[in-house]
Chains A and B, each alone.
Chain A
Amino acid sequence: MKITLNNRPEEIDASEMTVNDIIQYKNFTFKLLVTKVNGKLVKTAERSQVTVRDGDTVEVMHLISGG
């Protein structure tokens, strides 16, 4: 499938994946994330249920302490 991940085209050798799978596949190592699929918020607990398919837009932001 071809998706857009953080504004960049990304080709993944799978027909669909959960948001959690994508996080693992891309090696996002930061603990705290905010994720969106097609502009809609996907909360932490929903990441194992929400499926990403061809043409979808995925956005991932990581958070670190300091301020």
Chain B
Amino acid sequence: MKWEEIKVHLLNKKVGVAGCGGLGSNAAVALARVGVRKFVLVDFDIIEPSNLNRQYYFRRQLGMKKVDGLSYNLLEIDAAIEITAHDMKLEYGDISTVFAGCDLVIEAFDKAEAKQMIAEAMIENMPSTPLIMGIGMAGIGGFQLIKQEKWSDNIYICGDSVSEISESLPPLAPRVGIVSNMQANLALELLLSESKST
């Protein structure tokens, strides 16, 4: 598909981003660059110095809400982008309302409990909307262990599935960048394949 055609196909697609940290900010930036114009961003956190080792924010944005910082950065890439930003902690019952109308959702939470919550909510309440999860991206190296798979029905997984963050296994820009861009790449593939079939 030619670049001009890709942009036309993406024009009316809407992507949900659940969590605007390392995975969410980088995946959203990649999708904004290729032409996704509608985003629903959700996060309850603010930008801190420790985030700058991997998240798509800058020093001058320290202290801002992540949804505001990311909205600003996406608009710097393309001023025509439409963003619905929710500064909130997502709960099970919110998922289908907050992401209503999204063609797919990028799961980009930090905590395993939140990942379980959104996976279960999407299986139960949004079974026809793909959820692209990021699982296992801490540390350094191990590129060959990172993979993407369709787990079941609407749930997809990107990552190595085993590298959990800890003090000795921090999340860092290169590996978080690989997995978040893998999520964006899969999102692009799904968004464009939907367009072809409709």
Given the contacts A32-B113, A66-B138, A67-B24, A59 and B151 also touching, CB distance less than 8 Å: yes
* Chain B stretch 161-198: residues in CB contact (< 8 A) with chain A: 161-165, 171, 176
Query: When chains A and B are docked, how far (Å) is the Cα of A63 from the Cα of B138?
Result: 13
Q: Which residues of A contact B161 (CB under 8 A)?
A: 62, 64
Query: When chains A and B are docked, how far (Å) is the Cα of A59 from the Cα of B153?
Result: 11
Total interface residues on A, using CB and 8 Å?
A: 16
Asked if A63 and B21 sit within 8 Å, CB to CB, the answer is: no
Asked if A34 and B123 sit within 8 Å, CB to CB, the answer is: yes
Asked if B164 and A67 sit within 8 Å, CB to CB, the answer is: no
Asked if B120 and A67 sit within 8 Å, CB to CB, the answer is: no
Of the listed stretches B2-10, B30-38, B61-69, B103-111, name the one at the interface; the rest are far from the partner chain: B103-111
Query: When chains A and B are docked, how far (Å) is the Cα of A66 from the Cα of B137?
Result: 7
Asked if A39 and B165 sit within 8 Å, CB to CB, the answer is: no
**Interface 0/1 of A32-47, CB less than 8 Å to B:** 1110100101010000
Q: Which B-chain residue is minimally distant from A64 (CB atoms)? A: B164
Given the contacts A67-B22, A67-B110, A61 and B137 also touching, CB distance less than 8 Å: no
Q: Which A-chain residue is minimally distant from B180 (CB atoms)? A: A67
B119's partner among A31, A34, A39, A66 (CB-CB below 8 A) is A34
Where chain A touches its partner, the secondary structure class is strand
Query: When chains A and B are docked, how far (Å) is the Cα of A67 from the Cα of B108?
Result: 6
Task: With A61-B152, A65-B164 given, name 20 new contacts (CB 8 A).
Answer: A34-B116, A34-B123, A34-B155, A36-B123, A39-B153, A59-B151, A61-B151, A63-B112, A63-B115, A63-B119, A64-B135, A64-B163, A65-B112, A66-B135, A66-B138, A66-B165, A67-B23, A67-B108, A67-B171, A67-B176
Chain B contact residues, CB within 8 Å of chain A: 19, 21-24, 107-113, 115-116, 119-120, 123-124, 134-138, 151-153, 155, 157, 161-165, 171, 176
